[in-house]
Amino acid sequence: MRTISIPKDLASANSRPKGGNDSRPGSRTTTRSQYINHLQDLLDHQWNQYPPSWFITIQWSPAPYSFTTASKHARHFRNKLLSHLYSTTLKNLPPPQEPCKLVWFHERAQDPQGRLIYHSHLHLTKPPGVDSAHHLQWIIADKIAPGFDCLKHLKRRRDPAVVIRQWNPEHHSFYNLKDHYRFCHHQDPDLILDYDISDLICPSK
């Protein structure tokens, strides 16, 4: 498993106050602004160093009701994908310096009953040996989905479980930040980027 180093002021989700930004001392607006500015800087640095090749939307089945569950599914997806791309076990994966990078976000939406459910977005940079979206779709269907119970409906004509798009910097660079603003008054408003399973390149200070 690859390891990453993140700034102290962008601590992992598990260490954040249970009440989200609203439980932090000081001005909530200022704190929220500082957080989103840090996150924008981190992403800007990431995309400049390693611009992604693909933007992948994944709808898990059944849809998770928590960030933790979505992250668990994404971790399993990540492990199976990397094992296939490098034809090796997780213990023998190349070091994080390799150009292939996976950056994960989990986005919220409401189901017909008004409950919050999660789906995931993967920004994927330079997967080795992958030359097209069709090739990547085949890898997901043939190498990742089998035995992966929450990854279904890949061939559904309307609203398929996995949608792969070529990464567009104008549209995708800060695409996931909208989720922060939509849920800024939620209990966990700052749970957007999945730090634990993302290959992040942090700016040097």
Q: What is the pLDDT along the chain (205 residues), one digit of tens a residue?
A: 443 334 444 433 332 223 333 333 344 444 767 777 888 888 999 999 999 999 999 999 999 999 999 999 999 999 999 999 999 998 898 887 788 999 999 988 888 898 889 999 999 999 999 999 999 999 999 999 999 999 988 988 888 999 999 999 887 887 677 665 565 555 554 568 899 999 998 776 5
* Start-to-end Cα distance in the chain: 26
Give the pLDDT confidence score for residue 16 in this predicted structure: 29
pTM for the model: 0.80
Structure tokens at 160: 């398929």
Nearest to 78 by CA among 148, 178, 135: 148
Give the pLDDT confidence score for residue 141 in this predicted structure: 95
CB atoms within 10 A of CB 22: 14
Give the pLDDT confidence score for residue 86 in this predicted structure: 95
Give the pLDDT confidence score for residue 27 in this predicted structure: 42
Nearest to 46 by CA among 118, 89, 96, 80: 96
Give the pLDDT confidence score for residue 79 in this predicted structure: 95
